[in-house]
Amino acid sequence: MRYNEIFLITILILIIFTSMLIFKFIKSSINIIIIGEVNNNNININLNIKYMFNLINIKIPIYPLNKVKVKKDKNKSKKNIKHQNIKIDKKSIEVNDIKNIINLIFKVKVEEIYSYISFGNENVIFTSFIYVFINTIYGNVINIFSPNKIYLNITPDFTKNYIKGNVKIHIKPTIKDIINISIAMIKIYKKVKVNKRIKKDGGKIEINRVNTKSYGKNI
């Protein structure tokens, strides 16, 4: 066997192996877990991201945030408000774009939904209303999503004033899902940016900026 044939076979094997790795990477899932705990006025919401057999395990507190970081962010935001005035024109966002993102989000695999809420209020009418309202939400969740694991429960109390709850949402988006959602959001961002620029220029469109000077009669 000649050396050039061995080289071509080696290159072919590397291409096939690389393609398999890329395909495996795109189809691989990221575990995104949102855990919320409520105990009267104490609210804690944490985000946990796991990937590659938990080799990557990131925990991010969503609420409450670090007070020091919040103060820094507030000071930065005050400075930025003086120099920037960010407004989103709702008219520039098309309904089809929103529908596209919603459809992409609903395609994400839901692994588990867990919710247990225990609350009480001495007002019987109010407690009954909240009980029916939360059960309605539970019913919609069951109809919309099809998780592998689901546990939804609520316990009302008509003699005490309190609220306790634990909520867990575990989704497994693939790299492909994340890429598709990101592309859709970038497209919306670009549309908003272009429409904002056109509005800033007084509604002028680039096509109107062509030199319209006459160079003679057109036959």
Residue 153: pLDDT over 70: yes
Shared domain for 150 and 113, answered yes or no, is yes
Shared domain for 114 and 55, answered yes or no, is yes
Let me know if residue 57 belongs to a domain. yes
Mean of pLDDT over the chain: 80
Amino acid identity, position 12? L
Residue 152: pLDDT over 70: yes
Q: How far apart are CA 109 and CA 89, in angstroms?
A: 32
Let me know if residue 5 belongs to a domain. no
Let me know if residue 213 belongs to a domain. no
- Using N-to-C axis directions, what is the helix angle for 95-106 and 175-200, rounded to 10°? 160
pLDDT recorded at residue 26: 81
Q: Please name the residues in contact with 186: beta carbons below 8 A apart, sequence gap of 6 or more.
A: none
Shared domain for 150 and 186, answered yes or no, is no
Let me know if residue 191 belongs to a domain. yes
Shared domain for 167 and 184, answered yes or no, is no
Shared domain for 40 and 61, answered yes or no, is yes
Shared domain for 46 and 100, answered yes or no, is no
Shared domain for 194 and 127, answered yes or no, is no
- pLDDT band for 142, please (50, 70, 90 cuts): confident
Shared domain for 51 and 40, answered yes or no, is yes
Mean pLDDT of 83-108: 68
Provide the domain limits for residue 153.
30-67+109-172
Token pair for 157: 């109390």
Q: Using the Cα atoms of residue 98, residue 100, residue 103 and residue 105 in order, give the sign of their dihedral.
A: negative
How many separate domains does the chain show?
A: 2
Q: Please name the residues in contact with 94: beta carbons below 8 A apart, sequence gap of 6 or more.
A: 191
Residue pLDDT, tens place only, 24-70: 888 888 999 999 999 999 999 999 999 887 788 999 999 887 654 54
pTM over 0.85: no
Token pair for 65: 């945030």
Shared domain for 118 and 104, answered yes or no, is no
Let me know if residue 85 belongs to a domain. no
Q: How far apart are CA 84 and CA 76, in angstroms?
A: 12
